[in-house]
Structure 1
Amino acid sequence: MNLNQKKSAFIALGQFLSQFSLDNSARKEGVLHNDLFFDKFIDLIELSQSHNGWFTPEQVHYAINSWAEALTEENLNEWLSAYDLSNVQPKTVGLILAGNIPLVGFHDFLSVLITGHKVLVKTSSNDQKLLPFLADYLIAVASEMADNIEFVEGKLENFDAVIATGSNNTARYFEYYFKDVPSIIRKNRNSVAVLDGKESKEDLVALGEDIFRYFGLGCRNVSKLFVPKGYDFKQFFEAIYEYGDIIHYEKYANNYDYNKAVFLMSLFPLLDNEFLTLKEDSSYASPISSVFYEYYDDLETVKSKLLEDSEKIQCIVSNNLINRSISFGKSQKPKLCDYADNVDTISFLSKI
């Protein structure tokens, strides 16, 4: 398959995904293979929560809609225009995927196939159904892709390069095990927001999206706030009040109760609105249902700290207070060129 044929297959997938929404999934005229896949995908979405309790219909639909918006001809052309893929020598690339949020490994899957390689996928036990289904749809659209897509359940073998995502502990194992092949090894990262107290209510409501989307399980979720000394959190709590229904989800509520109890038993001072706790802490990785915060005297200090800790940070949210930061509410809407850990996956795959 040439590049245009591969792009066309993913564009068709984007059109297929665009039919599904939380409130009203409806067939669109002209979408390929709806007779085979439409009803099955609705069933899979409904069953996703039984496979992973965090994969509620709302969260799965959000992930699906994000990819539907990304997989357009315009977006794919803009993304790939920066690369020369004409001399890529096809290889087999192993993917070890995370499963913290729905379809979290799809960008790697897309990148391997679009650059002309074969993908060998080991899914997470927490997300085993969605990606294979989308792979089946791609193969129905372009049967030639069948030779370039393989899912494995056991040990990953017979690959020329690997992209592996895991915790800091598993990353050490990955680095040793894959030391003899080209690799991208991803570790734990967190996202932060930098506030100066001038944010509007709309900004802070949007920040709530960055915090609560996917229940805070993603590396692009804001888990840490930098605020100026003397910052009044009243406006912040008022703005995020509209996310309060999250406490009615049992798994989140259990985490809220547990983590709050641990903090209180440790005599940590907390700010609490009955569905989110705020704890002053220099760390970045806060537990589910909690966000850490840290006071600053001047922005230059924050900029220096974030630069020093760049390998711990996935993205930064602010009102242009920090260079290359993301607008409030956009952390879970990355563009195709927004690479995990700021490692250019396409560049890596074009040179192996």
Structure 2
Amino acid sequence: MLQNDKKNGFIELGRFLSQFSEKESTMDPSVLQNDLFFEDFENLIQLSQSHNGWYTPENVIFAVQSWATALTEENLEKWLSAYNFDKVKPKTVGLILAGNIPLVGFHDFLSVLISGHNVVIKTSSNDQFLLPFLAKYLIAVEPSFANKISFVEGKLENFDAIIATGSDNTARYFEYYFRDKPSIIRKNRNSVAVLNGKETKEQLLALGEDIFRYFGLGCRNVSKLFVPKGYSFDAFFEAIFDYQDIIHYEKYANNYDYNKAVFLMSNFKLLDNGFLTIKEDVSYASPISSVFYEYYDSIAAVQIRLQLEQEKIQCIVSNNLVENSIAFGQTQTPNLWDYADNVDTITFLSTI
């Protein structure tokens, strides 16, 4: 299968996905295979919350739009220009996917196929429908993919390499079970924001997107704030008040009530605005509906801390306070070349 054919298939998939929006999905007659797929995908988006209560139509469409933005000819060319696939010998790569947010495993799926390999996929029970649907569309617009994509429900077998995503506990199992195979094993990671009190209201509002998108379930969601001693959270709470409607989602509200009760029964000191609790804690992983914070003496000290504990961190948000940080509001829209855990998936796939 030619590299250009693979790339064009994903460009067409991007054009297909670009038709769907939260306000109104509009069919573009120039998009291939719309007569077979447009209405069914529109229905799947609306049904996703019945398959997984966290997959609201709004969040599914956000994920879809993010991939529509990424899968352009310009982006794919920029991403792939750094690699040489001439010496890649097609292997079969197994994927064990997470299901915490919609299409969370799509980048691995894309990377395996664009590298020239075959992919065998075990989806999460929490996300069993979206990726298989997009795979069918991809095959419809580029039939050469048909023999390169398969899904399994039971035990994953007959593969040459593995990319597996799970918790720290499942990662230990993966590392043992797949010890004889080339592998990328992903563990728990969290994202943090470093503030200095000079952030604008617009930046803090954008930080709310980093916190609340996907209900905070993603590894790119900000779950921990580093703030200077004496920091006042008044401006932060004022800015994120626009996200108050999140409390109307039953699953989120249940977590808010439960986690708040646990904190209070443990006599923890909390800041609370009715839909988010803020707790001083050295941990990175806060529960749903809560964000941890920690005071710092200097930005330099935070920088050293984050470097020492980089294996726990997915991304860092700040107003250029910390090296390699990204802008507020950008955590859930990574580029194709922004690799999970800073592990270059394409380089791994080019050397197996």
TM range (shorter): over 0.9
Aligned residue for 1:237, secondary structure, equals: helix
Query: Residue type matched to 1:276 in 2?
Result: L
The CA RMSD measured in Å over matched residues stands at 0.4
Using the TM superposition, give the Cα deviation of residue 23 of structure 1 relative to its aligned residue in structure 2, in angstroms: 1.1
Give deviations 1:117-138, integer Å, cap 9, x for gaps: 0000000000000000000000
Match of 1:14 in 2: 14
- Who is 1:340 aligned against? 340
Give deviations 1:68-108, integer Å, cap 9, x for gaps.
Answer: 00000000000000011111000000000000000000000
Q: 2:161 aligns to what?
A: 161
* SS, match of residue 191 in structure 2: strand
1:72 equivalent in structure 2: 72
2:231 maps to: 231
Measured after TM superposition, the shift of residue 216 of structure 1 is: 0.1
Partner residue in 1 for 2:329: 329
Which runs of structure 2 are paired with 1:283-294 in the superposition (5 Å)? Answer: 283-294=283-294
State the alpha-carbon separation in 2 of the partners of residues 54 and 266 from structure 1.
Answer: 28
Equivalent position of 1:192 in the other structure: 192
User: How far apart in 1 are the matches of 2:187 and 2:140?
Assistant: 34
Residue type of the partner of 1:145? F
Q: Which amino acid aligns with 1:195?
A: L
The code of the aligned residue for 2:26 comes to A
Q: CA deviation at 1:170?
A: 0.2
The Cα shift of 1:29 comes to 2.4
Matches within 5 A, 1:188-337: 188-337=188-337
SS at structure 2 position matched to 1:110: helix
Q: In structure 1, what is the Cα distance between the partners aligned to 2:300 and 2:224?
A: 18
In the alignment, the residues of structure 2 paired with residue 9 and residue 346 of structure 1 have an alpha-carbon distance, to the nearest angstrom, of 18
- 1:95 is paired with a residue whose SS is strand
Aligned AA (1:329):
G
Opposite residue 232 of structure 1, the aligned amino acid is S
Which structure 1 segments of 5+ residues have no match? none
Paired position in structure 1 for 2:101: 101
Three-state SS of the structure 2 residue aligned to 1:278 is: strand
How much identity, in percent, do the aligned residues show? Answer: 75
* Amino acid paired to 2:345: T
Partner of 1:92: 92
- Paired residue type of 2:2: N
Q: Tell me what 1:29 maps to.
A: 29
2:198 partner letter: K
| TM-score (norm. length: structure 1) | 1.00
Residue in structure 2 matched with residue 63 of structure 1 by the alignment = 63
Match of 2:5 in 1: 5
Q: Secondary structure at the match of 2:338?
A: coil
Q: Kindly indicate whether residue 127 of structure 2 is the aligned counterpart of residue 143 of structure 1.
A: no
SS of residue in 1 equivalent to 2:53: coil
Rounded to whole Å, the distance in 1 between the matches of 2:33 and 2:146 is: 16
Distance in 2 between the 1:30 and 1:174 partners? 44
1:115 corresponds to: 115
Q: Secondary structure at 2:324's aligned position in 1?
A: coil
Q: Which whole-Å CA distance do the structure 1 matches of 2:277 and 2:333 have between them?
A: 25
CA distance in 2, matches of 1:318, 1:134: 34
Counterpart Cα distance in 2 of 1:22 and 1:41: 14
> 1:46 corresponds to which letter in structure 2?
Q
Tell me, in whole angstroms, the C-alpha distance in 2 between the residues paired with 1:100 and 1:16. 24
Aligned AA (2:326): I
Partner AA of 1:201 in structure 2: K
Letter aligned with residue 310 of structure 1: Q
**1:314-342 alpha-carbon deviations (Å, 9 max, x no partner):** 00000011111010000001000000000
**Which runs of no fewer than 5 residues in structure 2 stay unpaired?**
none
The amino acid of 1:209's aligned partner reads E
* 2:44 matches 1:44: yes
The residue matched to 2:150 in structure 1 has which SS?
strand
SS in 2 for 1:99: coil
The DSSP-based 3-state class of the residue aligned with 2:11 is: helix
What is the rounded CA distance, in whole Å, between the counterparts of 1:26 and 1:349 in structure 2?
37
C-alpha distance in 2, partners of 1:203/1:24? 28
Instruction: String of CA shifts for 1:284-326, please: whole Å, max 9, x gaps.
Output: 0000000000000101110111011100000000001111101
Q: 1:172 corresponds to which residue?
A: 172
1:7 aligns to what SS in structure 2? helix
Query: Which aligned segments of 4 or more residues in structure 1 are displaced greater than 4 angstroms?
Result: none
> Residue 22 of structure 1: CA displacement?
1.2
Structure 2 distance, partners of 1:288, 1:203, is 22
Name the SS of the counterpart of 2:163 in structure 1. strand
Q: C-alpha deviations, 1:143-183, integer Å up to 9, x for none?
A: 11010000000000000000000000000000000000100
Distance 1:338 1:258 in 2: 35
Looking at structure 2, the residues matched to 28 and 161 of structure 1 have their Cα atoms a distance apart, in angstroms, of 39
